[in-house]
Chains A and B, each alone.
Chain A
């Protein structure tokens, strides 16, 4: 089902867009503290930049209410390397992260209660894909982009449609989405994303060794991946969610025009507006009645 990438990677220059989950509801109850997590991630980012002079790293924070860019190696690291790459990267990233968290929290004050405490993954995926599109249009010589999702928050069912759209556009532009899930259960969205786009999904068993997982699995560039043994997808949950209630369903109704999925019979498709005919059972009983009358 996963489409084989038709691009030939000749070298190992990479652009890694990292989507960092900053959802405070998840981090407050996680065994790994956010600070420890950041130290693993920052060293990992530095390793990517060390591997190749032309490698680029972009970090997008996935918050509870909003998403924003918090680091771009091509901009933030242009000058002032005399202080060392790591200290510059850390100070720039941490400062922007602090500003972002503050703004994100402000937006919570107007939020209605009762929402599952998930992060805005659809937003950051879309931002990452837009950035990558810009890189594609910058000319023939560009690094090979991929997206790395560092996620701990659970899946938000209301984001199903947006996330699936993002996954399909990533598949179309041949951008692999890697995902490292650090939460308690499984994330069906991330498993599907990695499977469909040809990326790697992994749920580390021991979060204390996160850095080693990142180095072993996620630091491999796209060219070398065709030669390496990486975690294979096992038991991906491919069930769709209905568009009306966002529940995962096994059987449902599909609009023949736009392929939207519904769990119950509707008169009209909410996505494309096409009017549906009568349901099967009603049509059958109507024709039965017609047949019966001529006999008498």
Chain B
């Protein structure tokens, strides 16, 4: 049920706000260690595993060396999260900060990985429980309970999503809710997502942080968006969408030919791509867009977007970058061939020689070594 996942994400935030002593007690439970590990961002998980059997503190500089430059923002997010949950302890040593795993967490996670967790409770023996419901019966029961509350799953999700866009701390009148939503709001108040208050004439609800953070957790990567674009090897584009936004995005880099109620047909052409490049869109951005929004039918194929299309998009991009500019200086009228050759060797040694014409004794040298060249020439004279 989606509700469990949503609450779990914010549950972690609640866990993080517990005082250190309480957290230490929590970490004595192997399953909580596993749950915390699973809730971490992927990079943080890797760090925990890597440091699991290292007993000495590791300097933050060493930790930084594990990631490449591109990943430094993810690195920071991971480290911050680990410190927030007190999985990582900060040890300030003179000038360098070092990190060490929380020892309770470390010991119990080690035990969990080597010995495997045994749940604190066993299922009851079958001679005691008269008749266990089958999985189907359980499902039907769960569904039935939902229905009894008169709550449609879709409605609840819609309402929760709606709530997530409200402002924390602001009061909203209960009159603005539909009957269904009013039924839901009491349960949500029990769970701490909203606070109900009553004035003299009106009653209102105030969304708490738990509710407004829902949208953050729902954009979790575990929810994969439905793609809608099919790109063919003949550069034709088919987008199964009726959204105006999608149509405008496609118009940015492709020539939209037909627009049907559920389908947009277009073609990727040199002219349309030149337009996009002039507007500052890069080929990589276009290709990433096509790949990330690939229709499920083609998304499973490798590659999702045909290679000839991606290659051609990149080639057309380089068409606009044919000229490369380097700031340089031109040297002319050398007194003698020896001076010219000495200067040319000097420039070559400093990797600054861009062009030379030995017959007419002219050369073009990079602007960076212009000063050095001047000194060299003055020294020669």
A→B interface (CB under 8 Å):
6-8, 10-12, 43, 46-47, 50-53, 81-90, 136-137, 140-141, 172-174, 211-212, 215-216, 219-221, 223-224, 226-229
Q: Does B144 contact A (CB under 8 A)?
A: no
B42: which of A85, A172, A174, A224 is its contact (CB, 8 Å)? A224
- Note all chain B residues with C-beta closer than 8 A to A216: 49-50
- Note all chain A residues with C-beta closer than 8 A to B246: none
In the assembled complex, how far is the CB of residue B77 from the closest CB belonging to chain A, in whole angstroms?
11
| Interface contact B68-A85, CB-CB below 8 Å | no
Which partner residue on chain A sits nearest B118 by CB separation? A84
| Interface contact A136-B300, CB-CB below 8 Å | yes
| Interface contact A50-B37, CB-CB below 8 Å | yes
| Interface contact A229-B66, CB-CB below 8 Å | yes
| Interface contact B49-A221, CB-CB below 8 Å | no
B95-113 to A contact mask, C-beta < 8 Å, 1/0 = 0000000000000000011
A6: which of B45, B52, B296, B302 is its contact (CB, 8 Å)? B302
Q: Does B247 contact A (CB under 8 A)?
A: no
- Note all chain B residues with C-beta closer than 8 A to A84: 115-119
- Note all chain B residues with C-beta closer than 8 A to A224: 42-43, 46
How distant is the Cα of A8 from the Cα of B284 in the complex, in angstroms?
Answer: 13
In the assembled complex, how far is the CB of residue A91 from the closest CB belonging to chain B, in whole angstroms?
11
- Note all chain B residues with C-beta closer than 8 A to A43: 113-114
B291: which of A6, A51, A141 is its contact (CB, 8 Å)? A6
How distant is the Cα of A137 from the Cα of B301 in the complex, in angstroms?
Answer: 10
Q: Does B34 contact A (CB under 8 A)?
A: yes
Which partner residue on chain B sits nearest A39 by CB separation? B114
| Interface contact A140-B116, CB-CB below 8 Å | no
Q: Given A43-B114, A228-B71, A229-B68, do A50 and B300 touch, yes or no (CB 8 Å)?
A: no
How distant is the Cα of A197 from the Cα of B222 in the complex, in angstroms?
Answer: 26
Q: Does B53 contact A (CB under 8 A)?
A: yes
- Note all chain A residues with C-beta closer than 8 A to B222: 11
- Note all chain B residues with C-beta closer than 8 A to A136: 300
| Interface contact B37-A6, CB-CB below 8 Å | no
| Interface contact B52-A228, CB-CB below 8 Å | no
| Interface contact B68-A227, CB-CB below 8 Å | yes
How distant is the Cα of A137 from the Cα of B34 in the complex, in angstroms?
Answer: 31
How distant is the Cα of A89 from the Cα of B122 in the complex, in angstroms?
Answer: 18
Q: Given A6-B302, A11-B221, A140-B296, do A228 and B68 touch, yes or no (CB 8 Å)?
A: yes
Which partner residue on chain B sits nearest A86 by CB separation? B116
In the assembled complex, how far is the CB of residue B141 from the closest CB belonging to chain A, in whole angstroms?
20
Q: Does B143 contact A (CB under 8 A)?
A: no
Q: Does B38 contact A (CB under 8 A)?
A: yes
| Interface contact A215-B304, CB-CB below 8 Å | no
Q: Given A10-B221, A140-B296, A140-B300, do A82 and B118 touch, yes or no (CB 8 Å)?
A: yes
| Interface contact A81-B119, CB-CB below 8 Å | yes
| Interface contact B116-A85, CB-CB below 8 Å | yes
Q: Which of B123, B221, B288, B299 has the most CB of A within 10 A?
A: B221
A173: which of B37, B224, B302 is its contact (CB, 8 Å)? B302
In the assembled complex, how far is the CB of residue A3 from the closest CB belonging to chain B, in whole angstroms?
10
In the assembled complex, how far is the CB of residue B120 from the closest CB belonging to chain A, in whole angstroms?
10
A51: which of B37, B70, B303 is its contact (CB, 8 Å)? B37
Q: Which of A88, A216, A223, A224 has the most CB of B within 10 A?
A: A224
- Note all chain B residues with C-beta closer than 8 A to A81: 119
Q: Given A46-B113, A50-B38, A85-B117, do A215 and B50 touch, yes or no (CB 8 Å)?
A: yes
In the assembled complex, how far is the CB of residue B212 from the closest CB belonging to chain A, in whole angstroms?
24
| Interface contact B116-A227, CB-CB below 8 Å | no
- Note all chain B residues with C-beta closer than 8 A to A11: 42, 221-222
- Note all chain A residues with C-beta closer than 8 A to B310: 6
- Note all chain A residues with C-beta closer than 8 A to B299: 140
B182-225 to A contact mask, C-beta < 8 Å, 1/0 = 00000000000000000000000000000000000000011010
Q: Does B67 contact A (CB under 8 A)?
A: yes
In the assembled complex, how far is the CB of residue B310 from the closest CB belonging to chain A, in whole angstroms?
8
Interface residues of B in 61-107 (CB under 8 A from A): 65-68, 70-71, 74-75
In the assembled complex, how far is the CB of residue B298 from the closest CB belonging to chain A, in whole angstroms?
11
How distant is the Cα of A172 from the Cα of B37 in the complex, in angstroms?
Answer: 33
Q: Given A50-B37, A220-B46, A227-B74, do A141 and B224 touch, yes or no (CB 8 Å)?
A: yes
| Interface contact A52-B38, CB-CB below 8 Å | yes
| Interface contact A82-B113, CB-CB below 8 Å | no
A12: which of B45, B71, B224, B296 is its contact (CB, 8 Å)? B45
In the assembled complex, how far is the CB of residue A61 from the closest CB belonging to chain B, in whole angstroms?
21
Known: A141-B224, A211-B53. 13 other contacts (CB 8 A): A11-B222, A50-B113, A51-B37, A51-B38, A51-B49, A53-B38, A82-B119, A84-B115, A87-B116, A140-B300, A172-B302, A221-B46, A228-B46
Interface residues of B in 279-301 (CB under 8 A from A): 288, 291-292, 296, 299-300
In the assembled complex, how far is the CB of residue B237 from the closest CB belonging to chain A, in whole angstroms?
18
B43: which of A53, A85, A174, A227 is its contact (CB, 8 Å)? A227
- Note all chain A residues with C-beta closer than 8 A to B66: 228-229
Q: List 21 A-B contacts (CB under 8 A).
A: A6-B302, A6-B303, A7-B304, A8-B292, A10-B221, A11-B42, A47-B113, A50-B37, A50-B113, A51-B38, A81-B119, A83-B118, A84-B116, A84-B118, A84-B119, A85-B116, A89-B116, A220-B46, A226-B71, A229-B66, A229-B68
